[in-house]
Amino acid sequence: MGPVPLILLSVLTLGVAVGMAKCEDDDDEYTWPQNIMPVLRDKQTVVLAQPAFMAEAGREPRSMCGIECQSRIPEPSMADLEELLSYETVSESGDRTLTEVSLQGLAGVRANHGYNASTPAPSRRKRQVYGTDSRFVIADKQYTTNYPFSTTVKVSTGCSGILLSPRHVLTAAHCIHDGRDYLKGAQRLRVGMLKLRSKRGAGRRGGRGRGGKRKGGDAEDGEGERRRGKKRRGRRSTEATRPSFRWTRVKQMRIPKGWFGNISQELAMDYDYALLDLKRPQKQKFMDLGIIPSVKKLPAGRIHFSGFDDDRPEQLVYRFCTVSDESSDLLYQFCDARPGSGGSGVYIRLKEPGKKKWKRKIIAVFSGHKWVDVNGEQRDYNVAVRITPAKYAQICHWIHGDSSLCREL
């Protein structure tokens, strides 16, 4: 699908669907859940050898535990969960550490954040883009550089991400690490954000001397140059307002130990997320994290995300779809997507408790296309890693250094 008409884009951006409008009158339904989140704390940090940075980007995604398999996996013990949530930190200099963690206050949260598995959707044959391509190119500068689309960023290894704070970007772990080593491009990782080009300096060329004359020319030549300069200034002014990427270096990156598969290969896909610390703070609005216990709590069961798909170079692509199935850590859906959109922040829009205001929050990280086992058959889904209470505490700890600062969801 091509660029979105402005009228349609306005409707999509505001979320004014029929089901959503109906929900506006219900004070109890479709509200962000309130809960006390667990607290994650560092126990000890050890220094590791520097990574080789030899992994190749774009490798075939690792196999994953399917929907049935996910339902059979026993809930990790607290000791296992703390090991899965331990994390590596790699700085731009290549220094690497492993931090072991402790988790407190999870039991009560688990009781309130169960999930209800839904019926798997019918098998689809096409990979990544299912049937008619339902993606929308956000081409209008009014939208690409404004919230919520302005929170989407491009990661230099060929992925997407989403701004979580002025200095932090949430993305997929596979965008910087293949499960065995860090990608070659992760050593000098950068994040690009769409900005409007400055008009400063537009139209300053022309080579005229004083009095409108070119050096070495007569008055008639000078008048012609003024006319040509006016046309060039018009073209440059138009170009100056087109969004382009402004790149920022990444100071350090963090990945949960669960992604490496040392503890359980079956659980590795559940930890396909990473946090990037930027060298320079960004001024635009960011998007908060949220937690939802089940897709049944979503308006129409629908999720949204934007990214920089590799078949639409330099264009921001938005899509939405209904979640087909879920586990406690994954969302299975058929949102049309291509490589490059991996790492996008998956978000929904619910009401804030006690208010009529609706707010978008990130509830998952888009991982990508996966083959999964369903009733003994291989089916392909596009999969997102959902934010659980434990992951919420970990990411909060990465951002603030103290997850107790965001215990109240």
Domain assignment present for residue 368? The answer is yes
The predicted pLDDT at position 60 comes to 56
Show the domain range for 229: 210-240
- In angstroms, rounded to a whole number, what is the distance separating the alpha carbons of residues 376 and 221? 80
Q: Residue 87 burial (CB < 10 Å; 0-12/13-18/19+)? A: buried
Domain assignment present for residue 205? The answer is no
- With a threshold of 0.95, does the pTM exceed it? no
Give the CA distances from residue 166 to residues 277, 278, 280, 285, 286, in Å, rounded to whole numbers and listed in that order.
9, 8, 8, 8, 7
Q: Which two tokens stand for residue 404?
A: 């107790």
| 248 in the same domain as 293 | yes
| 161 in the same domain as 67 | yes
| 252 in the same domain as 231 | no
- At position 330, the amino acid (one-letter code) is L
Q: Which two tokens stand for residue 199?
A: 């008009």
| 233 in the same domain as 122 | no
Domain assignment present for residue 202? The answer is no
The predicted pLDDT at position 202 comes to 44
The predicted pLDDT at position 108 comes to 60
Contact 206, 229 (CB under 8 A): yes
Degrees, nearest 5: CA angle 61-64-69: 170
| 248 in the same domain as 219 | no
The predicted pLDDT at position 67 comes to 73
The predicted pLDDT at position 132 comes to 58
Residue 200, SS3 per DSSP: coil
**Residue 14: which CATH number?**
2.40.10.10
| 149 in the same domain as 12 | yes
Q: 330-363: buried (b, 16+ CB within 10 Å) or exposed (e) per residue?
A: bbbbbbbbbbbbbbbbbbbbbbeeeeeebebbbb
The predicted pLDDT at position 405 comes to 86
| 254 in the same domain as 125 | yes
| 264 in the same domain as 348 | yes
| 270 in the same domain as 321 | yes
The predicted pLDDT at position 15 comes to 45
**pLDDT profile of the chain (409 residues), mean per 10:** 50 42 52 90 97 84 68 84 97 97 81 45 44 65 83 96 97 95 95 78 42 41 49 50 88 96 82 97 94 83 92 87 90 87 95 90 92 74 93 96 81
How many structural domains does the chain have? 2
| 222 in the same domain as 279 | no
| 226 in the same domain as 358 | no
Q: Which two tokens stand for residue 10?
A: 């306005």
The predicted pLDDT at position 30 comes to 87
